[in-house]
Amino acid sequence: MPKLKTILQSKYLYITIIFFLILYVVILTKIIKYDIKIKNFDYLEGIVIDIDNKNDKISFIITANTNSKEKVLCNYYNKDYNDLLGKKVRVYGEKGNLYNNTIPNTFNYKKYLYNNKIYVTYNVNKIEIINKENIFYKIKNNFIKHIKTYDEKIKTYLAIFIMGDKNYLSDDLYNIYKVNGIWHLFAISGMHINLIILSLNKLLKKLKSKNIIISLILIYFAFLTGFSASVLRTILFYIIKNLNNYFNLNINNTQILIITIFIILLFKPFMIYNICFIYSFVITFALIINSKNIKGNYLIQILKISCISFLVSLPITINNNYEINIFSIFLNGIYVPFISFIFFPIIILTFMFSKLSFILNILIRILELSNQLFYKFKFVVIIPKISIFLILLYYLILIIIYKYKLKKRYYLLIIIILLLNKFVNKLDSNYYVIYFDVSQGDSSVIISPYRNKVIMIDTGGLYNSDYHISSNIILFLKSIGCHKINTLIISHGDYDHMGESFYLVNNYQVDNVIFNNNTYNNLELELINKLKQKNIVYTKNISKLNINNNIIYFLNKNIYENENDSSNIVYFKIRDYKFLFMGDAGINVEQDLIMKYNLNNITVLKVGHHGSKTSSSKNFITAIKPIYSIISVGRNNLYGHPNEEVLDNLKESHIYRTDINGSAIFKIRKNKLEIKTFPV
């Protein structure tokens, strides 16, 4: 034991552990590549280990019966099955497809699944239950069934804080909590686990084996919550700390944290890419080494903890959200004690005693209404994506300030780094024309030098879907330092061209909107009502728009009975490059354009009507001679777009399809055109 103590107290051990972990994680997650080993997809058998039934389908993960117990994400468009968790099932269907994020600087679902050792999806059309769940899953299912007996509001928060299940929370509330900077309080974290430990210690204080019992309860709680990163960290830290005290090993909290990281990454190396894992360990480490400085009364301590947590996690937050709410430090000072000592304990008590629901309902109302109020007065600063160099410099300065106990004015260096990152994009003198992959729809932006103007043409819009593709467009624009859309041009009133405009004006600054010359249809009138509420200027029947001394021309002056033919047709020239956007205009309109305008040698054509045979006639394409043709089209769409005849008409140009090539960025650098795509 003395030799073990000496080893565990040696700083060289922890330096060795850190270097070993770096090498170990790089080899296992970057050098070694993984893929599915399942060969036959006629049917799959496995145990359901996770389930999500938020939308119009249920998604569940099974451990398929192969030698390596591979995980498969199954999608089933039928909500009859809600009690599959833990059961062994046989599912019939076909192998699905996984795609990368095709809009840059946004969430990559394929990569996320890969990091969770899921390499394939399976579209299920039939489920057979083979065996019932074991006792552990049976208890978990009973917990879930019990939560479902409560009303919608209470069920939402019970599921979040007891099961770690956020599926019941609305997207609007999630966005409010995220922008206010308190969303992390809704993740089951060390704060919640420590409250449970404190309660169990009081209940079991007379038992000699209380630490073992508490550890077993916590391990099952980790199972209940899906072994989330923050829960794993807290429970493992607690167990190692108890062993440290029991054997009198005299290792400090920083060393315990390093051992905790080592154990987790040894068995789960891909956890290093989990955002909750990163937040949890970075903040915990900062709080441990600053523990001596966290003094004063309780409110002062909370404020100091909020400031430390905010500072050390800032680059992580920026590179995930591309914005920060300055008020979040103070909001954490309010909501940390509220959630910790009032809301969470009442959650636990309400779960056990349903008659306390009325108290929880009052607290939920206070929580939601106060957050909605703070959201209205938010002070959000958009900060573009930070380079790895600036991130390292940021943390180096923090370490130097801490190590040498420099005065507070040196924190100004951090602000300088963030300002440098924010304004470096303003030095970009290039034009950008970006065609977004919005599935079966259209959306593009024109960005002028120094980010002075952002002009959006159409927003996209998916029918019968709760998913907002424009949330990714907003995220991308923020990531490159664009804080608003100066002008939104709506080509015409079809949902796949303007459906996302409602979400866009609710969640991003839009200065004005331009409609086409035709009478407003119902969808356009609905948008106009929204624009009036937001005091956003709108207009129609315009001829041109100035963007940094480059004129955007609106070529379609006729009014047609057909909504598609009434599309705004946009033409502009940047330096020597000509761009033409056709909306959904058909062959008759194309003929009118040829007669009225000299549109030869178009550099980039935004192909009309997603490559439908109603547009892009051979006569038109021959006349305009596009060098590049962009077809915005959904993967495996029901319309058969793009049409083979249209593809043949365009064969002399270089064709980019969003269903294959993803989003396309055309960068005009001086007099040179650079093209970058983000394929699926």
For the record, the structure tokens of 390 come out as 């600036």
Residue 80: band (very low, low, confident or very high) from pLDDT cuts 50, 70, 90: low
Query: For a pLDDT cut of 90, what percent of the chain falls above it?
Result: 63
Q: What is the mean pLDDT of residues 642-654?
A: 97
Residue 466: band (very low, low, confident or very high) from pLDDT cuts 50, 70, 90: confident
Residue 7: band (very low, low, confident or very high) from pLDDT cuts 50, 70, 90: confident
Buried b (16+ CB within 10 A) or exposed e, 41-69: beebebbbeebebeeeebbbbbbbeeeee
Neighbours of 672 (CB within 10 A): 11
626 pLDDT higher than 80:
yes
The tens digit of pLDDT for each residue in 243-277 reads 898 888 889 999 999 999 999 999 999 999 999 89
For the record, the structure tokens of 248 come out as 């009198």
294 pLDDT higher than 90:
no
79 pLDDT higher than 80:
no
Question: Under 8 Å CB-to-CB from 678, ≥6 apart: which residues?
Answer: 100, 101, 102, 103, 104, 437, 661, 662, 663, 664
The tens digit of pLDDT for each residue in 172-224 reads 898 899 999 888 888 777 777 877 888 888 888 888 888 888 888 888 988 88
**Distance of alpha carbon 23 from alpha carbon 667, whole angstroms:** 38
The tens digit of pLDDT for each residue in 425-440 reads 888 999 999 999 999 9
E-only strand ranges, 566-603: 570-574, 577-581
* Confidence (pLDDT) at 81: 63
Do β-strands 71-76 and 58-64 pair in parallel, antiparallel, or remain unpaired? antiparallel
Do β-strands 431-435 and 443-447 pair in parallel, antiparallel, or remain unpaired? antiparallel
Query: For a pLDDT cut of 70, what percent of the chain falls above it?
Result: 98
**Distance of alpha carbon 493 from alpha carbon 497, whole angstroms:** 7
Higher pLDDT, 649 or 166: 649
Give the lowest-confidence range in 440-449, 531-540, 558-567.
Answer: 558-567
69 pLDDT higher than 80:
no
Long-range contacts of 255-261 (CB under 8 A, 24+ apart): 255/8, 255/9, 255/14, 257/281, 257/284, 257/285, 257/288, 258/14, 258/17, 258/18, 259/17, 260/233, 260/236, 261/21
547 pLDDT higher than 70:
yes
Is residue 313 within 8 Å of residue 328, measured between CB atoms?
no
Question: Under 8 Å CB-to-CB from 529, ≥6 apart: which residues?
Answer: none
**Distance of alpha carbon 174 from alpha carbon 182, whole angstroms:** 10
Give the lowest-confidence range in 364-378, 412-426, 448-462, 636-650.
Answer: 412-426
464 pLDDT higher than 80:
no
Give the torsion sign (CA, 657, 105, 530, 536). Answer: negative
How high is the mean pLDDT of the chain?
A: 91
Angle between helix 253-267 and 275-289 (nearest 10): 170
How much helix, strand and coil, in percent to the nearest 5, is found in the chain? 50, 20, 30
N-term to C-term CA, the chain: 56
The tens digit of pLDDT for each residue in 305-352 reads 888 888 999 999 999 999 999 999 899 889 988 998 899 899 999 999
Q: What is the mean pLDDT of residues 355-371?
A: 95
* Confidence (pLDDT) at 57: 75
68 pLDDT higher than 80:
no
**Distance of alpha carbon 424 from alpha carbon 351, whole angstroms:** 51
Q: 62 - beta bridge partners?
A: 48, 72
Q: What is the mean pLDDT of residues 55-78?
A: 80
DSSP conformation class of 59: E
* Three-state SS at 615: coil
Is residue 545 within 8 Å of residue 539, measured between CB atoms?
no
